[in-house]
Structure 1
Amino acid sequence: MGGKVAIVTGAASGIGRAITELLHARGAKVVAEDIHPAVKELERDGIVTLVADVTVDGTAEQAVALALSTFGTLDILVNNAGRILYKNMVDMTREEWDWQMQTNVTGAFMHSREAQKAMMANRSGAIVNIASYASYFAFPGIAAYTASKGALAQLTRTQALEAIEYGIRVNAIGVGDVVTNILNHFRDDGREFLAEHGKSAPIGRAADPLEIAEVVAFLASDRASFIVGAVVMADGGMTVPVG
C-alpha cells in the first residue's frame, strides 16, 4: 500500500474503520468518509476525514477532490457504506425502500463513477465494493437489502468491464456475518445477534471486521492484478452448496 491513496466510505466504525486503519498501517494515505461525525476520530498524519452522506449529490465529487488536493492522486476506492432494514415487503414504505437502495447502490455508483474519472488519467486503480452473501441468497424480511446487494454485485461486474481498458480493476467481496453496529439502529443487541447468527455458517462463527479488511487490502493491491469483476466470497462458507 506504500504510496497509494484511498477513499473509504462508511469509515467511522466496523468494517470501514478496520479497512481505513489497515490500509493506513500498510502505508496508504486515506480519505475516511462517513455520515457520522465519529469518523473525525480517525484523523492523523495520512488520514483526512469527510463528514458527508454518500447519497447526496456532490459528496462523491467532494471526496475525490479532497483526495486529489490533499494527497495528489487517487488509487483505491472502497465502497463500504451500507444500511439494512428488517421489514417484510408488504409492510415497507417507498421511503424505507429508497433509504436502503440509495446508500447501498446509488452511493456506490456515484463514488465509483467519480473515482473512475480520476483514475483514468493514471490508467490504474482499484475499486472494491462491500457486497454480501445476500447478493445471491434471499432471506425473508430483508428484501430491500438483498435487492441492493444483488444490484451492487452486478454494478461491480459491469463497471469492471468498462474500466479495465484503463487499467482499473473493480471487484467486490461477498461478506457474511460480521460483528459490527449495522443493526444497532433498530435493536439493542445488534452485535450479539450477528455473533449468534454467524454460528450458522460452516465455520461456526461470525467474522471480525479486520478479517474483511484483509481481503479488501489484497484486492486493492497489485498482488490481485489478475482479479477483475469478481465477487470474492468471505462468508465463512455460508454460500457453499450443501448436497
Structure 2
Amino acid sequence: MSDMNKEFAGQVALVTGAASGIGRAVALLLHARGASVVAEDRNAIVQNLARPGLVPLVADIIEDGAAEAAVAMAIKHFGRLDILVNNAGIILNKLLIDMTREEWERIQHVNVTAAFLHAREAVKAMIPNGAGAIVNIASYAAYQSFPTISAYAASKGALAQLTRTLALEVIDHGIRVNAVGSGDVVTNILNEIVDDGPAFLASHGETTPIKRAAQPEEIAEVVAFLASSRASYMVGSVVMADGGMSVTAG
C-alpha cells in the first residue's frame, strides 16, 4: 500500500451530497485513501455506497437537526470527526424578475445555510481534537456571473466569504477551512432544469480555455488535497478548479 493510499488512515470524514457527482467521488476517494466516511444525501441511492468504513445517511441537509445528526453519526460509528466536505448544492436558471422568493430562498438554504449548519456542528466536534479540515464546494460563479444565475451566484459568493471568515475564526484551534471554486463538472445538478444535465454541462465546458468540462473525480482530487496535511499552510483559500474560466474576460 502506498503512502497516498494511507493518507487519511485513522481520520473520519463527513461528505454532503454524496449520492452522485462530486460528492460521491469525494466520499469514495477519501475512503480509498484510508478515511472512514459518513456519506449524507437526501436521495436514498446514497445507501448503495455502504461498505466497511463507509456509512450512508439519508437526510435532507436543510432540515432542523440534520447537521447535528450527521456529526453524531460520525462520532457514534467512528469516534471522531476530522474532515467535513460541504458539497451538496442546487442551481436555478431563471431571470431574477421571474424568480419567486421561495425559489431564491431554497437556493440559499441548500447552498449556504446547510453549509453553515454542518460547519458549526463539525467545528464543535473538531475543537477538542485540536485539528480538522473543512472543504466547501464553491464555484467560479462566486466571482463571475451571467444572466439567469443570480440566486446561485449569490449563494456561492456567500459560501466563499463564509469560507474565509470561518477560516479566521477556527485556525487557532488547528482547523483549516478552504474551498474549491469548481467549474463545469459532468454531474446531475442540472437534471431538473434541462433534459440531459450531464450532456449540457459537457457542452458548456467546451467554452472554457481547457475546452472541456471536468469529471467529478478531478474535483475530488482537489478536495482531497485541501483536506490533507499536504495543504497544511492553506487557510481561507478558494482554489479555482474551473478549466481557466475564472481568468477569462467573461
- Fold conserved (TM > 0.5)? yes
Bigger mean CA deviation after superposition, 4-13 or 180-189: 180-189
Q: Which residue of 2 aligns with 1:81?
A: 88
Matched letter for residue 201 of structure 2:
L
From 5, 8, 21, give the equivalent of 2:15.
8
- d(CA) in 2 for partners of 1:106, 1:233: 22
How far off is 1:186 after superposition?
Answer: 2.2
How far off is 1:3 after superposition?
Answer: 1.0
Q: Which residue of 1 aligns with 2:196?
A: 189
Q: Which residue of 1 aligns with 2:65?
A: 58
From 20, 24, 30, give the equivalent of 1:17.
24
Aligned length: 243
From 100, 114, 126, give the equivalent of 1:119.
126
1:162-194 per-residue CA deviation (whole Å, 9 max, x = no partner) reads 010000000000000000000001221211110
How far off is 1:240 after superposition?
Answer: 1.2
TM alignment of 1:125-144, pairs within 5 A? 125-144=132-151
1:176-233 per-residue CA deviation (whole Å, 9 max, x = no partner) reads 0000000001221211110000011111100000000000000000110000000000
Matched letter for residue 241 of structure 2:
A
- d(CA) in 2 for partners of 1:111, 1:95: 22
Alpha-carbon RMSD across the aligned residues, in angstroms, is 0.9
- d(CA) in 2 for partners of 1:44, 1:241: 42
How far off is 1:17 after superposition?
Answer: 0.3
- d(CA) in 2 for partners of 1:149, 1:114: 21
1:132-164 per-residue CA deviation (whole Å, 9 max, x = no partner) reads 000000110011000000000000000000010
Q: Which residue of 2 aligns with 1:45?
A: 52
- d(CA) in 1 for partners of 2:152, 2:205: 18
How far off is 1:57 after superposition?
Answer: 1.1
From 90, 95, 100, give the equivalent of 2:97.
90
Matched letter for residue 129 of structure 1:
N
- d(CA) in 1 for partners of 2:154, 2:195: 25
Is 2:90 the partner of 1:99?
A: no
TM alignment of 1:130-209, pairs within 5 A? 130-209=137-216
Q: Which residue of 2 aligns with 1:214?
A: 221
- d(CA) in 1 for partners of 2:93, 2:155: 13
Residue aligned with 2:129, SS: coil
Report the identity percentage: 68
From 79, 85, 90, give the equivalent of 1:72.
79
Matched letter for residue 151 of structure 1:
A
Matched letter for residue 115 of structure 1:
A
Residue aligned with 1:192, SS: helix
From 219, 228, 247, give the equivalent of 1:240.
247
Q: Which residue of 2 aligns with 1:225?
A: 232
How far off is 1:242 after superposition?
Answer: 4.9
